Chain A
């Protein structure tokens, strides 16, 4: 999906998803849709057989910066109306489909104009229940809903970070197996879905079966962004090593005037110090991220930054907001992601016109080649209720195909901007600028975004500078993206073990704030192992053969 000015408004959750990369990637790698709920890991050959064939999609527009090694394509132009349609006829049969999706803002009223426009375009009575997902409300609703078989709607969108506990069991019990509809060449009936990368489909494999239509993730997720306007004003040089970071911290911090150099950089330091997101495979052994020397080094460095007073005091506080501090100029260099970069410019660009955000070229702590870990390829999944008849499943797949249309198509514009005249007007470049009606109907906060999506792209016709900054950053960084261990394999950790991360997160917070020191790491590692870390290692070791393919 393309990030478009005036239409897609990435939520705080999108930004936070990037910021919490350590917990995020570790959690996503560990907790994202799983294979075994007590069953054996899937045979790699078998998984390959059930994946859909990849059929590259049509390019409706030439990107200013094409996708390289999985990075999003960047567009700085918009097609002239009338827009091409990627889908020949309306996907629906006029039947009623009940769906549920999270929304990152207030819940829109029922039967609003956007709903009517969507239903007309889809030729279906697409009855969507929007559930507010601010601070984790969606997972609570899901947990309750999944517990009872009667309450499942026809179509459920589940973000990978909102997967309730014991998810593998839930998937098995409640959702339909889509392998016969999508595997191999069956996908060719749905060309937009066939354009999705095979890696994205791998994350939709649960319990050895293809159970969902994935919604792709953006890659990479972590980078360091900074306020170029502030660094220019202070005459600071941009850091390209960890020593530079320390010097930058000293030069940029002026606590008296309320400015600190950094927020909590932990999320981005994982890449800088090359700490594996969860495991490293050494021969036939698995080494946990917490047992690596890189982790100890990253921990020590971040503790040093905190101790020196370069980190904003509210950094580990649950009530503050990183982006707000960044936009207010209270911090200069923060961890972020591409969506957050675009969002902060859009949201605060008007009130802070001098704000110029730039990304720091990736660098490595050891001075060697930089590294960016590739995040899991899917961030949400679309599940269909178990027992739905095949005609309806095919209709829902066609609708998902409709929503997965790429940038530059009519369906894409409808999805991210609504109906012309009602929800948006065109600016001088022909780009839709959405209005209050669209915001009230939930469009700006994600209504209808997640039922299907093309591989990520970013677009902004009016903020060419930002796009070009991002494009250049991506061009440089694309070569550094690497797959972590178990990439492409869907593993769900068993219920009592998936909470181990919290212990270590608490330990990290203690070290950063000076309550414990890095020398306590040995004790923390020991208790991690004793409290289930070794059991977790044995559990993942089952997948070693699959991982090595």
Chain B
């Protein structure tokens, strides 16, 4: 996905595709400045993300922090068995997948739509105001968001009191388990759609305006320009975010759900993260929590890799690809 090419790259291209093996050290020497720039970030990730992965060994132990990893008994797959045989785990998984699916359909397109709308506004002042108003809720904590929703839609809230003053029964939006998916999605939309819009606006600003002019000259109207110029330019970013979202699909929030768990019941509000919290962490059953987390991580990794592969099949770059990958070769033609 690199846009610029340095002169040394062009030199390498003229020499033909790079060979595997045997030529590694000269390549590293050639790029040593870039490696040095990247080194601090890589070290940070290795130390704070990869090394702690070794700690996942506690998923196979009956871990007690007071005796440490070396002092804890090895328990093999017992923790995994306990997680998989718990009916609450499957219920939590179902809820997690339901929330992810609904949010994928109803939340994911909204920042795109917002970005397209804001981008097509002529007045700069209106754009700035709209942008600020929509992305500010991102900075509120979930406690505030849920409290606001409670004060407006709750049983004693504004809407309910208006219903009552007209003699009707209030709509129990915040405590009805059947509308919980809609509630959670609307909260996420209110809070984060504006923030997501910022990414797409940035992508939109990279679209070559000459293409719009060319399309207009060819007789395309506004809708056709959006469909044939704007959206295809956004496509790489959309695919990238979709893949990342898929990898994150088993994480649907913690604070937001734990605050509302008692109002709607654990039957619909329990997700994998809250399940691990109540069943594992609160009880000090660290091995159990680690086993659940490990399984979640492995599944998410497989999802990301699979989605990335799928993106390659459709001719997109995805989140990463090999240097001589088919998609790049196709583009150079």
Complex-state Cα separation, A164 to B283, whole angstroms: 8
Whether B259 contacts A319 by the Cβ 8 Å rule is yes
Binds A, one of B147-155, B184-192, B238-246: B147-155
Complex-state Cα separation, A314 to B150, whole angstroms: 8
Whether A255 contacts B262 by the Cβ 8 Å rule is no
Contact indicator per residue, chain B 251-271, by CB within 8 Å of chain A (1) or not (0): 000000011111101110000
DSSP majority for the B interface?
Answer: helix
From A312, A317, A499, give the contact of B174 (CB < 8 A).
A317
Residues of B within 8 A of A330 (CB): 156
Whether B66 contacts A169 by the Cβ 8 Å rule is yes
Complex-state Cα separation, A313 to B173, whole angstroms: 11
Closest residue on chain B to residue A496 by CB atoms: B285
Whether B262 contacts A318 by the Cβ 8 Å rule is yes
Whether A496 contacts B283 by the Cβ 8 Å rule is yes
A173 at the interface (CB under 8 A from B): yes
Whether A502 contacts B282 by the Cβ 8 Å rule is yes
Whether A317 contacts B284 by the Cβ 8 Å rule is no
CB within 8 Å of A: which of B92-146? 143, 146
Binds A, one of B157-165, B222-230, B304-312: B157-165
Residues of B within 8 A of A255 (CB): 164
Nearest-neighbour CB distance to chain B for A62, whole angstroms, equals 46
Residues of A within 8 A of B284 (CB): 143, 164-166, 495
Residues of B within 8 A of A320 (CB): 150
Beyond A502-B282, A515-B267, is A317–B262 a contact (Cβ under 8 Å)? yes
Whether A314 contacts B265 by the Cβ 8 Å rule is no
With an 8 Å Cβ cutoff, the count of chain A residues facing the other chain is: 33
Whether B66 contacts A314 by the Cβ 8 Å rule is no
A and B contact pairs by CB, cutoff 8 A, 12 listed = A166-B66, A169-B67, A173-B66, A173-B67, A312-B156, A313-B160, A317-B150, A318-B146, A319-B147, A506-B261, A506-B265, A515-B267
Nearest-neighbour CB distance to chain A for B169, whole angstroms, equals 10
A256 at the interface (CB under 8 A from B): yes
DSSP majority for the A interface?
Answer: loop
Complex-state Cα separation, A131 to B65, whole angstroms: 21
From A174, A313, A318, A502, give the contact of B260 (CB < 8 A).
A318
Whether A515 contacts B177 by the Cβ 8 Å rule is yes
Residues of A within 8 A of B68 (CB): 147
Whether B161 contacts A146 by the Cβ 8 Å rule is no
Range of interface residues on chain B?
A: 35 or more
Residues of B within 8 A of A499 (CB): 278-279, 282-283, 285
B64 at the interface (CB under 8 A from A): yes
Complex-state Cα separation, A224 to B95, whole angstroms: 38
B175 at the interface (CB under 8 A from A): yes
Whether B283 contacts A316 by the Cβ 8 Å rule is no
Residues of A within 8 A of B282 (CB): 165, 499, 502
From B64, B65, B154, give the contact of A314 (CB < 8 A).
B154
A354 at the interface (CB under 8 A from B): no
Q: A residues bordering B, Cβ < 8 Å? A: 143, 146-147, 164-166, 169-170, 173-174, 255-256, 258, 260, 312-314, 316-320, 330, 495-496, 498-499, 502, 506, 509-510, 513, 515
Listed residue (B66, B164, B266, B285) with the most chain A CB atoms within 10 angstroms of its CB = B66
Whether A509 contacts B156 by the Cβ 8 Å rule is no
Residues of B within 8 A of A319 (CB): 143, 146-147, 150, 259
Given contacts A317-B154, A320-B150, 15 further A-B contacts (CB under 8 A): A147-B65, A147-B68, A165-B285, A166-B64, A173-B67, A256-B165, A258-B156, A317-B150, A319-B259, A495-B285, A496-B283, A499-B279, A499-B285, A506-B265, A515-B267
Residues of A within 8 A of B64 (CB): 166, 169
The 4 closest A-B pairs by CB, nearest first: A165-B284, A313-B155, A147-B65, A499-B283
Closest residue on chain A to residue B160 by CB atoms: A313
Nearest-neighbour CB distance to chain A for B83, whole angstroms, equals 12
Complex-state Cα separation, A1 to B150, whole angstroms: 38
CB within 8 Å of A: which of B43-84? 64-68
Whether A513 contacts B175 by the Cβ 8 Å rule is yes
Closest residue on chain A to residue B288 by CB atoms: A496
Nearest-neighbour CB distance to chain A for B61, whole angstroms, equals 13
Nearest-neighbour CB distance to chain B for A202, whole angstroms, equals 24
Residues of A within 8 A of B150 (CB): 314, 317, 319-320
Nearest-neighbour CB distance to chain A for B253, whole angstroms, equals 14
Complex-state Cα separation, A143 to B63, whole angstroms: 14
Residues of B within 8 A of A317 (CB): 150, 154, 174, 260, 262-263
Closest residue on chain B to residue A147 by CB atoms: B65
Nearest-neighbour CB distance to chain B for A535, whole angstroms, equals 13
Residues of B within 8 A of A312 (CB): 155-156
Beyond A316-B262, A498-B283, is A143–B267 a contact (Cβ under 8 Å)? no
Residues of B within 8 A of A174 (CB): 66
Nearest-neighbour CB distance to chain A for B282, whole angstroms, equals 6
Complex-state Cα separation, A390 to B143, whole angstroms: 48
From A146, A318, A515, give the contact of B259 (CB < 8 A).
A318
Whether A506 contacts B266 by the Cβ 8 Å rule is yes
Residues of A within 8 A of B155 (CB): 312-314
Whether A509 contacts B262 by the Cβ 8 Å rule is yes
Closest residue on chain A to residue B156 by CB atoms: A313
Residues of A within 8 A of B265 (CB): 506, 509-510, 513, 515
Residues of A within 8 A of B175 (CB): 313, 316, 513
Whether B164 contacts A316 by the Cβ 8 Å rule is no
From B66, B146, B174, B278, give the contact of A502 (CB < 8 A).
B278
Whether A316 contacts B263 by the Cβ 8 Å rule is yes
Complex-state Cα separation, A286 to B154, whole angstroms: 42
Nearest-neighbour CB distance to chain B for A248, whole angstroms, equals 19
Residues of B within 8 A of A170 (CB): 66
Residues of A within 8 A of B267 (CB): 510, 515
Nearest-neighbour CB distance to chain B for A238, whole angstroms, equals 25
Complex-state Cα separation, A509 to B288, whole angstroms: 26
Whether B283 contacts A313 by the Cβ 8 Å rule is no
Residues of B within 8 A of A164 (CB): 284
Nearest-neighbour CB distance to chain B for A146, whole angstroms, equals 7
From A173, A316, A318, give the contact of B258 (CB < 8 A).
A318
Beyond A317-B154, A509-B265, is A165–B177 a contact (Cβ under 8 Å)? no
Whether B147 contacts A165 by the Cβ 8 Å rule is no
Residues of A within 8 A of B177 (CB): 515
